Amino acid sequence: MKTAAIVILVLFAIMFVAIQYFRNTQPSKLSAYLASGDYEAFDHCSNKMPARLFINPFNMLCLQLNSYILRQDRKSVTDLLCRVNIARLKDNQKNYILLRAFNYYVSIEDKENAEIYQRKINQFGSRAMKQSAKWTMDAVVEGGHQYLQEVIDETEKLPDHQKIENEMLISLMYQNMGNTKMAVQYRDSASLRMEKLGHENR
């Protein structure tokens, strides 16, 4: 895998967006523990009866999955994903789990499992998900840039707060081309958007 620094930033952008999502939509106490890295408190709280009774089972599954990903507990991530019956989930739930799993395996350079989840995305996912997985496999895993113009065109249609991941991919694609100037330009743009989004969600 090439240009390790840019790849790390791409994956950081993915993680940043996921954390912001959980801060806004999931039980605040558990989300705060994950965001701060206090996994002992997360485990203690998530295993209490109130959490089991009042937190939607799918939301709890997502919190646990993110906990294992943030801890870099590969075995627990894989075990949890193996227990998920994708076909029985609602569309928005499928989308979240499939993309989370795909991005995780890309981040740990597990090409075999990344390809497995790309195939599942192609089977169950939306058009946008299929595009994102295709672009990510090419740019991050294969070190390519063949979809550069396609990503740029699609990114221009998005609201600003949804451009972060795409801009990091564009930056990586330019880096793969050897165009450092444009790589820095898009990386800086994505970083500014992350900073702005972080301030808005405080």
Report how far residue 113's alpha carbon sits from residue 104's, in angstroms, rounded to the nearest whole number: 9
**pTM of the predicted model, to two decimals?**
0.75
Residue 202's pLDDT is: 61
Output the six-digit token pair for 67: 């906990």
Residue that the structure tokens 């500014």 belong to: 192
Domain that holds residue 117: 4-200
Give the pLDDT of residue 77: 95
The confidence score (pLDDT) of residue 188 equals 94
Nearest-angstrom CA–CA distance, 30 and 43 = 9
pLDDT of residue 2: 55
Cα 81 to Cα 65, 140, 176, distances in angstroms: 8, 22, 32
Specify the pLDDT at position 195: 85
Number of domains present in the structure of the chain: 1
Could you report the average pLDDT of every consecutive run of 10 residues in the chain (202 residues)? 64 64 59 89 84 80 92 94 88 90 92 94 90 93 95 92 90 96 94 81 62
**Residue 163 contacts residue 190 (beta carbons within 8 Å):** yes
Q: How far apart are CA 140 and CA 155, in angstroms?
A: 18
Q: What tokens appear for 16 in the block?
A: 């940043």
Give dist(CA 105, CA 72) in Å, integer.
11
- The 10 Å Cβ neighbour count of residue 23 is 16
pLDDT of residue 98: 92
3-state secondary structure 99-148: HHHHHHHHHCCCHHHHHHHHHHHHHHCCHHHHHHHHHHHHHHHCCCCCCH
